[in-house]
């Protein structure tokens, strides 16, 4: 058990370092003038343009400046960085993506090792759920970067993930026995797994919303329409998972405490969070909500997620153990 726990802690520590390195790589890439996101196929257009510029340069100096300007080109109305600086930024972003994926692998190994060591899902205390929360956010980052070419989300998500991992390190990783209310391993695993995935998707939605609000001051970010769509796609994932989390929690509460709902502070905060996302999706689908108000709702929703997680620390209640 001691060896497995050591492996778990080392894996989480390695993931923390990798998250910091990935954040540094993406930040430097942005500061050097690179664009943190591209629509699918844009990178290919950049490479093709650069190839055309190199080929035309062999015909002599005459007209080479114009050829180079055309090779640099434009996408979405914004110029791409000059070849040298752009290549470095793209290399740094590629490095940041790979390091983020490696951090996700280490986090997965850490959680699995912890589960083997403690004999149940690693969700029983603040340390375990903080690391699981970070894993969920990493999963969202990796998925959206790969599936939707949304590297830009890393700029907003990696600082939050790093902060959560540092918080986990600060509360200590001691193994404690399960309190009576948690001694239902199936519900412990399924209920909290739904929460972790829901919160991870909610963090992605909030990152898109925060970047949308920051877009006027940072014109190198993707256009507002793309950020708005990314936030919506993430919220569509988060909401049904939150619904499942609350339903399973009610069933578990009845088994543990004899009532489906007791207006415990954490239950109430989870319900408020669910209502925020329900309001966002209803307003978007029925009334076509877009823009700043939609982005603010997504940011507020993740604020409610964080309050749901941390609120029991100072509000007490039946969930005070976690």
Measured in degrees and rounded to the nearest 5, phi and psi for residue 74 equal -140, 150
What's the DSSP call for residue 73?
Answer: -
Angle at 216 between CA 156 and CA 73, to 5 degrees: 90
Angle at 197 between CA 101 and CA 319, to 5 degrees: 130
Neighbouring residues of 123: CB distance < 8 A, sequence distance ≥ 6: 129, 132, 188, 189, 192, 193, 196, 322
Q: What is the C-alpha separation between 132 and 126, in angstroms, rounded?
A: 10
pTM reported for the whole predicted model: 0.81
Enter the tokens of residue 55: 């080929």
Q: Show me where the domains of the chain are located.
A: 2-23+95-315
Q: What is the C-alpha separation between 131 and 128, in angstroms, rounded?
A: 5
State whether residue 229 is helix, strand or coil.
helix
What pLDDT does residue 76 have? 41
What pLDDT does residue 312 have? 67
pLDDT in tens, 217-242: 888 888 999 999 999 999 999 999 99
The series of mean pLDDT values per 10 residues for the chain, 322 residues long, is 87 96 92 63 38 40 36 39 66 93 96 86 82 95 91 92 94 71 72 92 96 90 92 96 93 81 85 95 92 95 92 62 52
pLDDT in tens, 292-301: 999 999 999 9
């Amino acid at each position: 058990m001691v060896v497995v726990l050591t492996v778990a802690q080392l894996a989480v520590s390695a993931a923390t370092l990798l998250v910091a390195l990935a954040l540094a790589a993406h930040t430097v890439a942005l500061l050097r003038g690179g664009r943190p996101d591209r629509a699918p196929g844009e990178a290919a257009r950049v490479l093709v343009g650069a190839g055309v510029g190199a080929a035309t340069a062999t015909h002599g100096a005459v007209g080479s400046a114009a050829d180079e300007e055309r090779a640099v080109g434009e996408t979405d109305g914004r110029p791409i960085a000059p070849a040298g600086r752009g290549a470095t930024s793209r290399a740094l972003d590629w490095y940041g993506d790979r390091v983020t994926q490696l951090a996700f692998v280490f986090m997965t190994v850490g959680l699995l090792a912890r589960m083997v060591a403690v004999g149940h899902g690693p969700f029983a205390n603040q340390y375990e759920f903080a690391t699981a929360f970070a894993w969920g956010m990493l999963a969202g980052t990796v998925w959206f970067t790969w599936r939707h070419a949304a590297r830009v989300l890393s700029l907003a998500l990696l600082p939050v993930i790093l902060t959560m991992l540092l918080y986990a390190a600060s509360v200590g990783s001691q193994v404690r026995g399960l309190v009576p209310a948690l001694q239902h391993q199936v519900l412990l695993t399924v209920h909290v797994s739904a929460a972790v995935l829901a919160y991870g998707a909610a963090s992605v939605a909030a990152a898109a919303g925060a970047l949308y609000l920051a877009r006027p001051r940072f014109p190198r970010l993707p256009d507002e329409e793309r950020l708005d769509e990314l936030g919506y796609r993430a919220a569509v994932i988060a909401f049904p998972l939150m619904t499942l989390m609350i339903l399973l929690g009610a069933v578990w509460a009845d088994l543990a405490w004899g009532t489906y709902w007791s207006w415990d502070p954490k239950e109430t905060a989870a319900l408020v969070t669910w209502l925020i996302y329900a309001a966002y999706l209803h307003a978007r689908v029925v009334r076509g909500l877009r823009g700043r108000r939609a982005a603010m709702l997504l940011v507020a929703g993740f604020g409610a997620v964080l309050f749901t997680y941390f609120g029991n620390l100072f509000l007490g209640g039946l969930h005070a153990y976690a």
